[in-house]
Amino acid sequence: MKQVTQRMCIVNPALVPDIAPLVGGQSDIMTNIGISWNTWTKITGGQPVRYSLAERLKARIIANAGELETLGRKFPATCGGVDHEALGNALLISNS
């Protein structure tokens, strides 16, 4: 029987404090960013998560990046706001 290996990645630890305000509390996390509290615990601990989950998280973060002043400073767009492409490129780190 062939074992399927899931693709994994790490959310950039340097950006975790910047995205933390989007999380909210333990009861709000699924609604706010589409992940479980256990997954958030893995992310804050620098542990790998499934790539498909990380892509969902990335989409939610990019959609709400304008709410986070620190991301605007780290990834400024030329016309103001957040450079979504640069943020997306920096957010996930391959674990392979």
As a whole number, mean pLDDT of residues 2-8 equals 79
**H or E stretch covering 54:** helix 51-64
Percent pLDDT > 70 in the chain is 96
CA angle 38, 9, 12 (to 5 degrees): 85
**H or E stretch covering 91:** helix 84-91
Higher pLDDT, 4 or 79: 79
Instruction: Give the per-residue pLDDT at 28.
Output: 87
Dist. CA 17–CA 79, nearest whole Å: 25
**pLDDT tens track for 34-67:** 899 999 999 999 999 999 999 999 999 999 998 8
